[in-house]
Structure 1
């Protein structure tokens, strides 16, 4: 009798812990929506307390899904406080870390601490925020515990959808003339000015919003094939994220989005049924897009204006900025070998504008030596899975990597998390192959 009661109690605890991710996601969603759309101010410490409480109570397996949901929302959260706490809780629940996790964590901390000695000024919370985000990234991609990657990807998509929804609504509410402005090709979703700059609000620039749109859509492409979740809901989320991406007027989004479509079609060539499903999904998105364009011709005009601008050939001046960084990089031996550091790389280089190329940013920030270590830590396990996983599961990695060629990766450091989801998608394919082999 006592054993039966003990088993029943364990089952109750297991179920309650299993639901904690849902409760966390709903709670955080309501808090952010009430704050950003309802205009009710909330202390950043309230978010810190709420997140800390949930992560402390959750199992390690639940933490991964909670981190995936939180990642896109970090632009509206006090991440420099929350992420160090999450990392500490992760270490406590892991009890031990493997050698690669330890080496890469030490590498991230050592490189930035040494680099900070050459900074004219720096923010300690900013440095801690950067280091803990990158440490968390490397710890998770080298954590080989069997997690529910389908659930993790699904929660990441939910976080991206929530972020995009709030940004879209904020744009419309704060910019009554957005349709007229967008037709000129200069106003883009994600560019929102807040009256109180000190207030904590969920804000993303248009490029980052487009980047997360591609990240979410590419993960949905995987989930549509292997997820047990409602397919119609996933398609609805995909259509919404596609429309959000279009509204950013991002030229990179258009190019990478086209690549995503091609990859998705080729990944479904095993049977006519799969091809038909792929074409049905693409057709549904196309129909919705044409309807929206018909009802909102200003969006179409804005896209044409963006592609016809004089700076298209230089990618909005990004090629010139990249060339300037490379010239200064080549002129300083110390920076060539060990980099500028991450958090203050612009001030060290004496350039006000940010780099928009992830690979060049890694080279500039870490130098040749540090860049090789970073690239090895990031891609070594990915390279080992080439040829072992179907093309479908590579779609997030290929598309996110391609987009990051015109974006950043380590500064802002929150942009690293879609790359983590891409690696999880590949692992999902590896797990699927193992299950098929076992059968």
Structure 2
């Protein structure tokens, strides 16, 4: 029976991979022939309407990585949001849906708050956030099995394939016009390209990778990772290092250290296994990453460790921006309590570079509290049969720590982080059984 279940799961994943690949091919060819992007949209909508919750999540998590180019022209609106609307309509057809008044009221309260204190300028931002709140609520109300490995698989495949496309952007007609990669200044007049796949922000790019790796390492230490998963881990690590992101490197090294500690606590044999796994991953990264990237990374670190380095330079100017935002927020009681509104411009022409600060800046402490209550009420309640350990909290910890230095409130990706976090928290990563799944149950 278990063997048949694993066989069906494997066939389902292969089927989703084929569907996702077809969508990706149409999106990439659509860069040169825009109408093929419409064909990709229609095909994805068809798969979503016909698919199970596993297929729907697989397609959304995979297509998320292609969102920056899933449009008719550079600078246009992404078709990905249309897929979200289609998914909401699909999931609403479930006749067994049951909502609690608390879940509905908190979303309504947030919507009213955002519009009252943000005005009409906040309409677009409020609608986007509420749309994703509704998506999360519907996903966890399906009362279906959501497998951690499955969502990590398609989330990672999307990142990797989009990164490969970015790596060979010169050979894909039309792709270069969508890519605007950041540059790192090494010396006066000397710059180095920071790789970020088909995204324009290396920190957003590596945030996706960090969340994925946190989930994968949970499966690794619990003995559930399959050989193919290690290939994904290595590829994600390679692209993460190529971004030259210091915050990614710190988080990555901490994750590897946690893996070693957890394996070491199991037994001497476990420690040897952990050292072997970490050694293989680091060796593969060193072999496959261009040495110019490694040298550039070392150059950044040496500059930060120099005697003249300041907190501002170590944080790449973020510290000064954080202080200016904190000063502004606490200088105005209205902003402190109610925020500037979701439609407000960034302060002093600089983004806050902090998920926490931007949430308070736009919503105030009251609005931020309602925002957090929305998330807590929408995500599933704890599965009491699951005994949690540190690895269950890794994606959540990554989000909080890296969220201190990155803008996320208006990124659709964050809601998929919430899905990965919720499933990871409710997956038993202590018992080494092969039935690695979690049945999400939400209170009604």
TM tier, smaller: 0.7 to 0.9
Distance 1:187 1:35 in 2: 30
Report what 1:339 is aligned to: 339
Shift in Å, 1:242: 0.9
Distance 1:244 1:311, change over 3 A: farther
Is 2:135 the partner of 1:136?
yes
Per-residue CA deviation, residues 231-266 of structure 1 (Å, 9 max, x unaligned), is 2x2112111111111111101011111111122222
User: Does the aligned pair in 2 maintain the 1:267–1:391 contact within 8 Å?
Assistant: no
Mapped partners of 2:205, 2:43: distance in 1: 26
Moved more, 370-379 or 253-262: 370-379
Is structure 2 residue 208 aligned with structure 1 residue 212? yes
Superposition pairs for residues 38-57 of structure 1, below 5 Å? 39-42=32-35, 44-57=37-50
Partner in structure 2 of residue 352 of structure 1: 349
Provide the alpha-carbon RMSD of the alignment.
Answer: 3.8
- With normalisation by structure 1, the TM-score equals 0.77
* Other structure's SS at 1:54 match: helix
SS of the aligned residue for 1:96 comes to coil
Contact 1:51–1:82 (Cα < 8 Å) also in 2: yes
Other-structure match for 1:83: 84
Q: Which runs of 5+ in 2 are unaligned?
A: 1-7, 71-78, 437-444
Kindly indicate whether the alpha-carbon contact (under 8 Å) linking 1:68 and 1:152 is maintained by their aligned counterparts in 2.
yes
1:284 Cα shift?
1.1
Q: Is the 8 A contact 1:183 1:299 kept in 2?
A: no
- Structure 1 residues 186-205: aligned runs within 5 Å: 186-190=191-195, 202-205=198-201
Note if contact 1:260-1:399 (Cα within 8 Å) is conserved in structure 2: no
| CA deviation map 1:101-159 (0-9, x unaligned) | 4234324433333344163xx774x6533431243235446765432333222222222
Tell me the residue number matched to 1:313.
311
**Deviation at residue 73 of structure 1 after TM alignment:** 3.1
Counting matched residue pairs gives 401
Q: Deviations over 1:36-94 (max 9, x none)?
A: 5xx44345533332222111111234323333333333333322322222222222236
- Which residue, out of 104, 114, 121, partners 1:102? 104
The aligned counterpart of 2:146 is 147
Name 2:439's counterpart in structure 1: none
Asked if 1:59 is matched to 2:19, the reply is no
Runs (5+) with no aligned partner, structure 1? 1-12, 193-201
Distance in 2 (CA, whole Å) between partners of 1:281 and 1:172 is: 35
Number of the residue aligned with 1:261: 256
Q: How does 1:282-301 map to 2 (within 5 A)?
A: 282-292=278-288, 296-301=290-295
Change (3 A) 1:123 1:383: closer
Give the TM-score of the pair, scaled to structure 2. 0.77
Q: Distance in 2 between matches of 1:25 and 1:291?
A: 30
